[in-house]
Amino acid sequence: MVTLPGEGKVPEPACTWDHYKAYDDLGVANNIEFHNKAERVFAELWDFYRCEDGKLEEARAVVNKHCPKLVHNLMHEARPLAVRKYMATQGYKSLDKKAGRRLRLEKDKYMEVTPRWCVDKGECWERIVDYWCSKEYRAKNKDYRNRRAGMLDPPYHQGNLNVMEFGERWASHHNAPLPNLFVSYALAHKAPYRTATPYDENDTASAYSSKTAYDQMEKFKGMAKELKGPEYDVTTEPLDHALVMISGEGRKHGKEAIAGGMFPSSSHSSLPEYKARLGISKSSTCKRSTPAMVEMEA
């Protein structure tokens, strides 16, 4: 249980990265001092990984960028996992994650399947369960489902994998060469890695589950030919950040149009800087595709 800074705050489960930052925890690990739980996570990361000399602060920035999402995912997956764990005790061994999201348990059933990371924190688990059983949570969950059902474009097929990991998983499953980021992005918008067919530059929009992603890839390929020459092959070259930024009109919500989140923001220029460097006027920049725009054009 953690109390966030601010007047009137009360102890609550650590459901966000801000809670980790607010929890005092002093110590040293791998010659790195830490003062709160978030810093401890970073210090103990090097029990499992190595960091190149001089790259520690860059690694810290990466951790601080991705850990908020990881903590969110932990809490997002906790309820369906608890449902599946309880149902397994009742003889339902093959309940999948999708079914686990649909089912609801009573409080006493959730309390029987406390997860390992909360086993010695009964009060914390009970608070989490109380929230799942509340009218507020159920109303919010229903709203999310309705919004998702109303999307013009379906989401990608990556699951909890990033674009690079999806490409690696696809290559391993199909015993194929490792695709570059552009091809991995394309495959992730075709189907899950087990069933996604190989990338073909002659594929039409019907080969993809997202017309928006297809439209954005076409803009990227067109910009690549225009700026790099007709022989430039987007399937073999490293994904060029300048091309992604220009063809996708910069970042939206902090992410690029193609393979968003795979580029460290600290090491790349902004859209105005790229345009100035390449002598591109504002009017020649592509407008980023949205589901509504693609639907109207169709």
Least confident of 126-130, 257-261, 269-273: 257-261
Summarize pLDDT for 146-201 with one digit per residue, the tens.
Answer: 877 666 666 678 777 888 999 999 999 999 999 999 999 999 999 999 999 999 99
- pLDDT above 90: residue 144: no
The top-scoring range by mean pLDDT among 44-53, 82-91, 169-178 is 169-178
pLDDT of residue 62: 86
Q: Which residues pair with 29 in a beta bridge?
A: 32
pLDDT score recorded for residue 109: 95
Confidence grade of residue 294 (pLDDT, cut at 50, 70, 90): very low
Does the pLDDT value for residue 68 go beyond 80? yes
How far is the C-alpha of 88 from the C-alpha of 150, rounded, in Å?
Answer: 33
| pLDDT on residue 239 | 86
Lowest-pLDDT range of 10-19, 91-100, 142-151, 197-206? 142-151
- Residue 286 pLDDT > 70, yes or no? no
Confidence at residue 143, expressed as pLDDT on a 0 to 100 scale? 86
- 4, two tokens: 């966030």
State residue 271's pLDDT score.
Answer: 83
Residue whose token pair is 């087990």: 194
- Residue bearing the bigger pLDDT, 287 or 76: 76
What pLDDT, on the 0 to 100 scale, is given for residue 292? 46
Question: Is the confidence at residue 257, as pLDDT, over 80?
Answer: no
Q: Is pLDDT of 288 > 60?
A: no
Note the pLDDT of residue 265.
Answer: 61
Task: Look at residue 165 in the predicted model and tell me its pLDDT.
Answer: 92
pLDDT band at 276 (very low <50, low <70, confident <90, very high): confident
285 has pLDDT over 70: no
Q: Which comes out higher in pLDDT, residue 109 or 244?
A: 109
Using a pLDDT cut of 70, give the percent of the chain over it: 88
Mean pLDDT of 93-112: 88
Closest among 263, 201, 207 to 234, alpha carbons compared = 201
Q: What is the pLDDT of residues 186-230, one digit of tens each?
A: 999 999 999 999 999 999 999 998 888 899 999 999 999 998 898
Per-residue pLDDT averaged across 45-51, rounded?
Answer: 89
